[in-house]
Amino acid sequence: MTTETRADLVAAEDVLLFVNAAITATGQREFHSGAYRQQLSLDFLHTYVRVNYRRVYASSLALDINDHNAARIVQGLLEHAGDASAEEKRAEGRLIAARLAKLPPQRVYRLFRGLRAARVNNRRTRAIMRDWLATRPDPAHDAVKYRAGLRAAVRHAHLRLDDGDAVPGRAPRDPRDTELGAFLFRPGRLPRYRHRLLDAWRRAHYEQGAVDELPFTVAEGFAARHGMEREAFVRRMVPRMTRLERLRTQGQRQEADAPVLPADVDLTVMPLTRLALYVLTFDTASRTRHRAELTAALRAAARRAAGPHAGSWGRVAAVLDDSYSSSGSGEKRRRPLAVALACHFLLETLAAPGAYIPLWTTGAKDPLLVGPRGPTPLGIRVLDALEHAPDRLVVVSDGWDNAPPGLAGEVLRVWRTRLDPDRRTAVVHLNPVYDADGFDVRRLSPSVPTAGIRDAEDLAALVEIARFSEGRTGPAELYAYLDRQVARFVDDLWGGPR
């Protein structure tokens, strides 16, 4: 093996390690490690990959990484713009614009505030801020709901607020000379605002009727200030809530013995993993009582996620981790278990009809009633799965095989080297938990490809990424894959190649 080839392989391993971290890690506490260790590990990875593989670092924006790491990558690229060539900056600019278009607005405004705190104020950064703000459908809504973020972006990038409403008697040469600018920088100075939402915010300080006209998260503060009855307020605000706000308030109302499945929560449009998280918030009795509705919604979401791949995977066996560690942490309650539950329904859809074998680590037979409990006997369940000789074996687990320790890795090693050297059964391990100490997701065996997973909807794409970690494809194929993903990602924003 030449030195060049060895260096290429090391680079490919570094890329896969970072992708796994960017998919799973959020810097929050996990079951086996605290938030500080998570943040320290993630800080090192971001710096290491940005410095050594900047092109790959930027290309990661086109993959199914989580929003936390996407925002960190954008800030890292803009904060260290001097390390990039002019051509790299153009490519990064298109990737950043495409990623910002997918991020939730609150995440983007938080990023802009971070850039201001870091004093990143080059021309490219100002252009990115300007272009993103120009795509916002209602600047007044953002001014009310994300006021601090919008104000920081306008001030930092020296932007003009051309909202069409100048303050009477003043030419709009300064951002503060428009009605929107006056709202952001001189709140309460104008006797009234022509924009309905801005004026509702003004009136809500002393008029309860105006509270119902505001976005829900803003109205909550005013409702508390006025001493409004919570349940009545929430019922009135349902038409103005986002889907996630409905879920959050439903969880609070459930604690107050409200109906489990109210009409204001539409299960048919929820993404698969989000729906699995929602299902796991109910106790066993509630899940049993509403089994038909919840199961139908999960299967419908799985069919949407599978798309044209439904029924195309042949015989599929799944080892799904519902051990105690799948309870997650205070910041990620039941997240690993929700990913396993969502993967169960998706794999059931991807498998040929009647050719799916689910095996939960606790031995559970009813997926709708799973809960985090007991040790993690992955090795025993892997043995059970391989007895069925499936075309694909998918293991969804945090990788802490402890009953007995290391059995799963040994079973898979013997299976690969002695019993199935021709690889008639494709095995992949999907891990929803980042291991801060290992700078990667925890692996079961070097002979089995492993990929991080955050949302079950990304399962098919992650299985494709996982094959690169198996060592059967070279670095050239990995980089070609990244280039294809970047081209597809950017084209989706711009409507075609540029």
Determine the average pLDDT of the residues in 21-44. 90
pLDDT at res. 157 = 87
The tokens describing 272, both together, are 């698969």
- Name which of 44, 11, 28, 26 is nearest 438 in CA terms: 44
pLDDT at res. 251 = 58
Determine the average pLDDT of the residues in 459-469. 84
CA distance 25 to 192: 46
pLDDT at res. 476 = 82
pLDDT at res. 172 = 46
- Name which of 196, 236, 188 is nearest 216 in CA terms: 236
**Residue 127 confidence (pLDDT) above 70:** yes
pLDDT at res. 269 = 82
Instruction: Say what the alpha-carbon torsion angle 6, 8, 12, 13 is, to the nearest 10 degrees.
Output: 20
Handedness of CA 203, 205, 207, 211 (dihedral sign): positive
pLDDT at res. 168 = 41
**Residue 1 confidence (pLDDT) above 60:** no
pLDDT at res. 255 = 47
The tokens describing 476, both together, are 């050239």
**Residue 391 confidence (pLDDT) above 90:** yes
Between the CA of residue 279 and those of 32, 241, 247, what are the distances in Å? 24, 20, 11
Q: Is 312 helix (H, G, I), strand (E, B) or coil?
A: coil
pLDDT at res. 416 = 87
Determine the average pLDDT of the residues in 359-366. 95
Determine the average pLDDT of the residues in 393-407. 92
Determine the average pLDDT of the residues in 141-159. 91
Return the H-helix or E-strand segment holding 134: helix 123-134
Count, residues in the chain: 498
pLDDT at res. 262 = 55
**Residue 2 confidence (pLDDT) above 70:** no
pLDDT at res. 298 = 96
What's the pLDDT band for 163 if we cut at 50, 70, 90?
low
pLDDT at res. 130 = 93
Categorise residue 158: left if φ over 0, alpha if ψ from -120 to 50, beta otherwise.
Answer: left
pLDDT at res. 115 = 94
**Residue 159 confidence (pLDDT) above 90:** no
Q: Mean pLDDT across the chain, nearest whole number?
A: 87
Q: Give phi and psi for 353, each to the nearest 5.
A: -55, 125
pLDDT at res. 3 = 46
pLDDT at res. 314 = 95
Determine the average pLDDT of the residues in 160-179. 55
Determine the average pLDDT of the residues in 201-209. 92
pLDDT at res. 76 = 96
pTM of the model: 0.87
Most confident of 260-264, 344-348, 421-425: 344-348
Determine the average pLDDT of the residues in 110-120. 94
**What are the chain's domains?**
279-475 (3.40.50)
Instruction: Say what the alpha-carbon torsion angle 50, 56, 57, 63 is, to the nearest 10 degrees.
Output: -160
Q: Is 396 helix (H, G, I), strand (E, B) or coil?
A: strand
pLDDT at res. 495 = 58
pLDDT at res. 239 = 82
pLDDT at res. 472 = 58
Return the higher-pLDDT residue of 293 and 267. Answer: 293
**Residue 46 confidence (pLDDT) above 90:** yes
Q: Give phi and psi for 162, each to the nearest 5.
A: -90, 80
CA distance 381 to 400: 14
pLDDT at res. 428 = 94
pLDDT at res. 176 = 52
Report the percent of the chain where pLDDT is more than 70. 90
What's the pLDDT band for 169 if we cut at 50, 70, 90?
very low
Q: Where are the alpha helices (DSSP H) in 204-334?
A: 216-226, 230-237, 243-255, 272-279, 284-289, 291-306
Q: Is 441 helix (H, G, I), strand (E, B) or coil?
A: strand
Return the higher-pLDDT residue of 472 and 165. Answer: 472
Return the higher-pLDDT residue of 314 and 420. Answer: 314
Return the higher-pLDDT residue of 257 and 420. Answer: 420
Q: Are 111 and 164 in contact (CB under 8 A)?
A: no
- Name which of 177, 112, 100, 96 is nearest 151 in CA terms: 112
**What are 414's strand-pairing partners?**
none
Determine the average pLDDT of the residues in 1-18. 71
User: 269-286, pLDDT tens digit by residue?
Assistant: 889 999 999 999 888 998
**Residue 301 confidence (pLDDT) above 80:** yes
Determine the average pLDDT of the residues in 456-480. 80
Return the CA Rg of the chain: 25
Q: Are 192 and 200 in contact (CB under 8 A)?
A: no
